[in-house]
Structure 1
Amino acid sequence: MSPDVGLPETYADLMSIHRMGHAFYHPEHAHNVRPGTCGYINNSGQWQPIVDLTDEAALAAGSFKPLTQLLIKATPDEFAWEDVTSEGVHSNKPSISVGADGSTVGVPAEASVEFSLEKSVSAGAVLLCNSTVHRKGYRHESPFLEWGKANANAIIKNCKDAKRYGFWVVLTTWTCSSVWTNVWKNSQKSVSIGITARSAGIGELSPRIEWSNSQSGGGWVHPTPTMKNGKVDQRVIFFSGVKFKVYKLPFGAVTREVRGTETIIVDDPDDVTKPENERMRYEFEISVEGAAEDKEEMEEEDEEEDEG
């Protein structure tokens, strides 16, 4: 059994405090997880695409219903992130400054940062980005929410794994070309990673730390940067979207005993010839994950455009 079993789910759960949606322990290729795509996450934490909602030919081939609402792209944005950690994780990261000769001061030639846990928590997660973080996606979740509700039956007909894993429709992605992740479950353990200091680049006000293999402890996931179409391929570290969590209903059941969440019931398309009381049914619990901050910023953009 792989030592990674359970770690992707633990990492995603721990990183959910940042309200950016699902966090990938093994960051996925950006050309695989794109805004406007439908897919699911398997038990290894990997993204498996089902269909691209913006591809009319693919929708028709799978007998999916088309989108009924206009998709409006959000303004792309870029960020410089420092370490992103789960609750209760602390580090001994040094401060760095600029010397009189323009060099960086405060980081030895060979140095490392240690991340440790408070006694009150039993697991920790860390995300480190050496390069610019890019955010792109669409403004409103309602087109994807309504599409998912209208196509749940077609989804489980085209992709039987969705009966087990449910499915997502991606609204926004956060990507980076050089990324490190780590997660650990022992409160007595700490993890370390090597660092170097880099002088401020164009548009940056201060020097920053870069993470490296030197002086690093084990457990780090660092996808090898690859080239695609002449550019360094981006990796998805978070994505927000509409989540359809699936529950298998007992024979004859109408719904689960749940309140306060929107759900839809879908008959198993493989059971359409059976009597109604012998058909397998699936209930999908619908939620919008990680889009709160995106929505606020997009509403502000809408207001600015209206004022203009």
Structure 2
Amino acid sequence: MAQGSFAEHFRRSMQNHPFGYALYEPAPFTRLQPGTVGYLDENQHWHPILNLLDPEALERDGYPPVGELRPSDPDVRRFGPLLSTKTAKTNLDLEAGVGAAALGLPVDVSGAGKYSTSNDFGAVLMCESDVVSEGFDLRDPFRVWMQQNAKSLFKKYPDIKKYGLCAVTWTYSSTNIHITAWEGENNNTTIGFKLGMAGGGNVGPQMSWVRGQSSSGWSAWTDQKRVLFFTGIKMSKGLLGVWEKKSGPKPGHQKFTVKGDEGEDDFRVALEPFGDDWDKIKATESAEAAL
């Protein structure tokens, strides 16, 4: 399977997790962070174009600053193994003869599970360090900025005519990331867990996860902070009349016409939420606005 198709399978299979657009190859946070504008190519690689949080850079490129933003305080959490939609977990009984060592696990694990699919695409995402959730509570300033500058952006950056342009408003990132994915029959991986006491003044048990050394196919990213999931606003270009539909507009979607320069055709532009947790975020924003 081509890399782009594999990455797309991974993205779709992770839609059951309400964190946004899943990246099969986590992108460096220095390139993909809240406030960045860029695009994903056919291989799901992120290409940054502008940083909307850098007013001096925007001025040099001839763009106005974004309206008032509302950054959210970063929220730190821990993820257990995140499974794709058709990946099943089977608990392994280590006391019934299936020894931890035979599974490539440390002998002091508290338990273990086998993650597998029968004849489908499968994937498991693990983070062995904290996951940071951060971004902006309001997307509207980004939407307004993209609409106001649509004509200039499409003219200056031809690649976005093909791929569209996304303003990143929220990310989930970590520094110790492991992903395994497969396609076909009888593929599986084994993961163990340990129970211990939480440190740093926290009270109660804490669970940690460990990959079986006999499990193959894991890719690791441990060099820097990288983005696992992100959401935002996407702007796409189309032809007049192509997007006309009988059904009404979806919540958060907007379409408008951009006038072409002399000798050029007008074109239609669509702005839409980007990322699968939009409905949850939008509901939160609506509730806050009603207060």
TM-score, normalising length from structure 2? 0.80
| Aligned partner letter, 1:45 | Q
Aligned residues: 272
Alignment pair present for 1:54 and 2:46: no
State the 1:63 CA deviation: 2.1
List per-residue Cα deviations over 1:253-288 (Å, max 9, x = no partner): 3442234242233456xxx342x5xx3735334225
Equivalent residue, structure 1, for 2:244:
257
Alignment pair present for 1:236 and 2:227: yes
Q: Report the more deviating stretch, 137-146 or 188-197.
A: 188-197
Equivalent residue, structure 1, for 2:108:
none
Within-5 A mapping of 1:149-228: 149-186=147-184, 188-193=185-190, 195=192, 197=194, 199-202=196-199, 203=202, 205-212=204-211, 214-218=213-217, 220-223=218-221, 225-226=222-223
State the 1:300 CA deviation: 7.6
| Aligned partner letter, 1:22 | Y
State the 1:18 CA deviation: 2.1
Inter-CA distance 286–194: structure 2 relative to 1 (3 Å threshold): closer
CA distance in 2, matches of 1:57, 1:36: 14
Partner SS, residue 144 of structure 1: helix
Contact 2:189 2:212 in 1 (8 A): no
Contact 1:114 1:190 in 2 (8 A): no
Equivalent residue, structure 1, for 2:114:
114
RMSD: 3.0
| Aligned partner letter, 1:18 | H
CA distance in 1, matches of 2:205, 2:284: 26
Partner SS, residue 71 of structure 2: coil
CA distance in 2, matches of 1:61, 1:130: 41
Inter-CA distance 264–222: structure 2 relative to 1 (3 Å threshold): farther
Deviant stretches of 4+, over 6 Å = 298-303
Higher strand share: 2
CA distance in 1, matches of 2:289, 2:150: 31
TM-score, normalising length from structure 1? 0.76
State the 1:20 CA deviation: 1.9
State the 1:143 CA deviation: 0.9
Equivalent residue, structure 2, for 1:287:
273
| Aligned partner letter, 1:41 | L
Contact 1:62 1:158 in 2 (8 A): no
Contact 1:181 1:222 in 2 (8 A): yes
Percent identical pairs in the alignment equals 23
Gaps of 5+ in 1: 97-105, 227-232
State the 1:40 CA deviation: 0.7
Contact 2:125 2:179 in 1 (8 A): yes
